[in-house]
Amino acid sequence: MEISARQPLPATKKNHPAGGVLVVLGAIIGVMAVGGWKAFAAFGPEFLISAVWNPVTQHFGAAAPVFGTIVSSALALVVAVPLAFGTAFWLAALAPPAAAAFIGMAVQLLAAVPSIIFGMWGFFVVVPLIAHYVQPTARHLFGHVPGLSALVAGAPFGTGLFTASLILAIMITPSITAVMRDVFVSMPTVLRESAYGLGATRWEVMRNVVLPWSRQGVIGAVVLGMGRAMGETMAVTFVIGDSNHIGWSLFAPANTIASLIALEFPESPAGSLKLASLMALGAILMAISFLTLWFSRWLLARGQKAAGG
């Protein structure tokens, strides 16, 4: 009796979901680039360095909103990252289990609050505080200090880069905290307990054991917060002041790419140079996001190479 060998079934091709993501990403980039090409062709490189945004004379530039986007996001990260790291460290290593569970859930709920709620709260609560107390106090303390006086100059409107950065910091801190806490908690217990067994303190364990192990997750959390800060629209629109100019004062009204697009898009006719300029701003925002992601990956690769060497 002959026993026939089983023939292996032919392999079937499966469409990888990453292919669809790349297609969508390429389509978005294509739409932004094609839509903004008219502005790039009309103004050339001057579009990137000009701070003028004048729909009457049909002269548009990207420098002012790009400046506002970068500065507001950077200031928000300066405030949010230390606060998020301290909160995540406390929840993962210091807090009692019951308190850590309750506060951790509250942090996750805070991360889910819609951005427009933060914007309204900032407009009705934070803006008056900045106008009546924070900026006058800052001008009294630093207004006569060379170099610092320019940072606190301007009329006390309450809206501006500092207010927008503060709202962004409040918005992105819960998201960064939640990711960092999950990364810290997911570390194998044996590594942490081994360090404790050698006599290390909790801070030494965090600095020398947990952080090197979770470096990729921490950088990912920061990049996630930075991406949300750069792309935030409604909350920033409420409190930044809607002014296209570049200045040293942190309390002066300004604009970001996202807020300018949200304000000007409804008044931009199809096929107009203004609409093309807004599409070009969208392409620039995507380019800034890609550069930020590439820089974070480069830092991560450099850190891993240094650790391996």
pLDDT tens figures, 182-202 = 888 888 888 888 888 888 888
For residues 180 and 171, what is the distance between their CA atoms, to the nearest angstrom?
15
For residues 55 and 265, what is the distance between their CA atoms, to the nearest angstrom?
12
* pLDDT tens digit sequence for 29-48: 888 888 889 998 999 889 99
CA angle 271, 52, 268 (to 5 degrees): 25
pLDDT of residue 3: 46
4 pLDDT above the threshold of 70: no
8 pLDDT above the threshold of 60: no
Contact (CB, 8 A) for 227 and 295: no
* pLDDT tens digit sequence for 102-136: 888 888 888 888 989 999 999 999 999 999 999 99
For residues 3 and 90, what is the distance between their CA atoms, to the nearest angstrom?
66
Which amino acid makes up residue 26? G
Question: Where do the domains of the chain lie?
Answer: 65-308
Please give the model's pTM, rounded to 2 decimal places: 0.86
Task: Give the count of alpha carbons within 13 A of 209, CB side only.
Answer: 23
Better-predicted residue by pLDDT, 251 or 190: 251
Domain 65-308 = CATH 1.10.3720.10? yes
pLDDT of residue 108: 84
13 pLDDT above the threshold of 80: no
